[in-house]
Amino acid sequence: MPRSLRFFLLMAIGISLGFGLLIWGIETGIGHVPYDRTDSQGHPMGFNDRLYPEHLGIILRAIDPLDYLPAVRGLNSAYFWLYLLAHGLAFHRIATIDLTRPRANLIFFASQVLLFPMGVPGLWVLVACPVEWFQGKLDREGIIDIPFFWAMAHSAWLVVSVTTIAVLFLAQRQLAWRTLRQATAKSGPH
C-alpha cells in the first residue's frame, strides 16, 4: 500500500478517535452547565433555548478530564472501551497491513457495523446536528436527549470504517492487477 494511503487511513482513524473523545466530553460537559447560564450577550442555555457559538465555548470549558474516569474505570460504558479498542486494533491493522491477505482486514472493518449498530441510525444525527447548528436551530435538548456519543462518535467511526474498506479494496485490486501484469510480462506473448 502506498505510504500516502496508509498515512491517510491512520490519520482518519486518529481523527475519529479524537472526535469521539471530544463528543464524550461535550456530552458530559453540558451536564455541568446550569440551565440558567447565559453567554455574554445574555442568551440563556436553558430548556429548548437555541445554542449560540459562545455556548459551545462554555460547554468546552465545562469538560472535566475526570469525567472520562467513570467510563475508563468501570463497565458502565462498555461501548466506550469497545470504541477505544476498535480504534487501537484498526490503527495496528493499518500500520502492519499486508495487502496480499486482505480478507481479515476487510472482515474487521466490515464487522464495525455489527459492533456499533447505533452508528447506522446515528448517521442521520451526524449530518443533522451540524446542519441544525449552522441554521441556528440546535438546542441543548438536541445534545442531551439522545445518546449523543453513540449517535455522533459511532457514526463517524462507521464512516471511517467504510472508507477504509473502500480504500483497502481498491489498493488490493491495484496490487492484483500489477501482479497479473508482471506475471504476463515475464511469461511473454503466447
64-103 pLDDT, tens per residue? Answer: 888 777 766 665 577 888 999 999 999 999 998 876 677 8
Domains held by the chain: number: 1
- Cα–Cα nearest to 116, from 126, 102, 131: 126
* Mean pLDDT value of segment 145-167: 91
Question: Average pLDDT for residues 149-167, to the nearest whole number?
Answer: 93
Instruction: Please tell me whether residue 105 adopts helix, strand or coil conformation.
Output: helix
Rounded to whole angstroms, how far apart are CA atoms 156 and 122?
A: 9
pTM of the model: 0.84
Residue 103 pairs with which residues in a beta bridge?
none
Give tens-digit pLDDT for 20-55. Answer: 999 988 988 888 888 888 999 999 888 888 888 899
CA dihedral over 174, 175, 176, 182, signed as positive or negative: positive
Q: Which residue range forms the structural domain that includes residue 67?
A: 3-187
Other CB atoms closer than 10 Å to residue 4's CB: what's the count?
8
The mean of the pLDDT values for the chain is: 86
Cell of 172: 488490493
Does the structure show a pLDDT above 90 at 187? no
